[in-house]
């Protein structure tokens, strides 16, 4: 079974086209799609889509890049959504120090650094609150980490054993992947795997054991080659799966059985419990 474990179907990029997009996904063999919330409104939209389409499930969360735009009580506003049977995870949550706040020309280094401190602190607060919410509701979490490795682990690792996390769009090296696996966490790979300059990620995908990773699109972003640069959609997860199966010298059916089993045990879809 082919599952796109990370899509943003609520984004305006797909507005008005979802029936056709989901049909193309089915035609490519995709049987399930998890649409990922990036804020309170986005999480609500994701759940509406999950209610509307059988093959769609939802993750509910606040993306770190939105932490500074959401209200203080944003995470508690997610709580009422969690009892819905099609909510399969919390996320995406985490830390992102790549997309920094804009810096006006006149601002000094000291001023900028002191403004960054509370900005990072709010991301960490929202991240930790979402981990707590996940642990309380016995859900796993989808992590967004960019240029924030050490801080992300510092917030996440106290929760080891209480929940599992998938580091989505994994782009780190083998040692970092192993650091996650020994603590019970997973990674997932996007179309980046097909990019020319993605040698390190390909090495990681080649060597990780079955059961430790999943596949995703992160659509509308990161379309795999030969669609690179165009709008990505769930059907393209097939290309990513084929490409990793090839690297690992696995048959596509064998690869899909293994990654679907990983996704089913991580997300615990209502029909697989």
Binding-site string for Zn ion from residue 60 to residue 89, where x marks contact by CB under 5 A and - marks none? ------------------------------
Q: How many CB atoms lie within 10 A of CB 31?
A: 14
Number of residues that bind Zn ion (CB under 5 A): 1
Question: 204 or 222, CB closer to Zn ion?
Answer: 222
Provide the edge-to-edge strand list for the sheet that holds 186-189. Answer: 2-7, 30-36, 56-60, 87-96, 141-146, 165-167, 186-189, 213-215
Binding-site string for Zn ion from residue 157 to residue 196, where x marks contact by CB under 5 A and - marks none? ----------------------------------------
| Rounded least distance, CB 63 to Zn ion, Å | 7
Question: 22 or 61, CB closer to Zn ion?
Answer: 61
| Rounded least distance, CB 6 to Zn ion, Å | 6
Length of the chain: 273
Question: 58 or 258, CB closer to Zn ion?
Answer: 58
Q: How far is residue 94's CA from residue 43's CA, in Å, rounded to a whole number?
A: 16
Q: Which residues contact 93 (CB under 8 A, 6 or more apart)?
A: 61, 62, 63, 64, 126, 127, 130, 131, 141, 142, 143, 144
Binding-site string for Zn ion from residue 192 to residue 221, where x marks contact by CB under 5 A and - marks none? --------------------------x---
Q: How far is residue 222's CA from residue 228's CA, in Å, rounded to a whole number?
A: 7
SS3 163: strand
| Rounded least distance, CB 115 to Zn ion, Å | 26
Question: 11 or 149, CB closer to Zn ion?
Answer: 11
DSSP output for 50-103 = HHH-TTEEEEE---GGGTTTS-TTHHHHHGGGGGSTTEEEEEEEEEE-SSPPP-
| Rounded least distance, CB 220 to Zn ion, Å | 10
Question: What residue is closest to Zn ion based on CB?
Answer: 218
Question: 96 or 218, CB closer to Zn ion?
Answer: 218
Q: How many CB atoms lie within 10 A of CB 168?
A: 24
Question: 215 or 245, CB closer to Zn ion?
Answer: 215
| Rounded least distance, CB 216 to Zn ion, Å | 8
DSSP output for 88-142 = EEEEEEEEE-SSPPP--TT--HHHHHHHHHHHHHHHHHHHHHHHHHHHHTT--EE
Question: 70 or 218, CB closer to Zn ion?
Answer: 218
| Rounded least distance, CB 168 to Zn ion, Å | 6
Q: How far is residue 226's CA from residue 50's CA, in Å, rounded to a whole number?
A: 29
Binding-site string for Zn ion from residue 91 to residue 130, where x marks contact by CB under 5 A and - marks none? ----------------------------------------
| Rounded least distance, CB 187 to Zn ion, Å | 14
Contact set for Zn ion, span 30-59 (CB under 5 A)? none
Site for Zn ion, rule CB under 5 A = 218
């Amino acid at each position: 079974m082919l599952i796109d474990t990370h899509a943003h179907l609520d984004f305006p990029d797909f507005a008005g086209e979802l029936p056709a997009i989901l049909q193309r996904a089915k035609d490519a063999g995709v049987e399930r799609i998890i649409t990922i919330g990036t804020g309170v409104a986005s999480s609500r939209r994701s759940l509406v889509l999950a209610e509307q389409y059988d093959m769609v499930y939802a993750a509910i969360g606040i993306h770190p890049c939105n932490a500074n735009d959401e209200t203080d009580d944003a995470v508690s506003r997610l709580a009422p959504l969690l009892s819905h049977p099609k909510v399969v995870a919390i996320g995406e949550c985490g830390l992102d120090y790549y997309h920094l706040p804009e810096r006006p020309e006149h601002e000094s280094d000291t001023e900028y650094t002191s403004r960054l401190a509370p900005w990072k602190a709010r991301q960490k607060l929202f991240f930790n609150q979402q981990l707590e919410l996940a642990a309380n509701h016995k859900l796993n979490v989808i992590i967004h980490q960019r240029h924030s490795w050490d801080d992300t682990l510092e917030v996440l690792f106290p929760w080891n054993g209480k929940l599992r996390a998938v580091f989505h769009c994994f782009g780190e090296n083998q040692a970092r992947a192993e650091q996650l696996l020994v603590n019970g966490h997973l990674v997932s790979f996007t179309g980046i795997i097909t990019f020319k300059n993605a040698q390190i990620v390909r090495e990681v995908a080649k060597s990780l054991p079955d059961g430790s990773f999943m596949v995703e699109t992160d659509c509308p972003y990161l379309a795999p080659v030969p669609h690179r640069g165009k709008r990505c959609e769930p059907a393209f997860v097939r290309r990513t799966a084929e490409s990793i199966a090839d690297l690992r010298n696995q048959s596509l059916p064998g690869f899909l059985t293994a990654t679907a089993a990983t996704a089913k045990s991580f997300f615990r879809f209502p029909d697989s419990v």
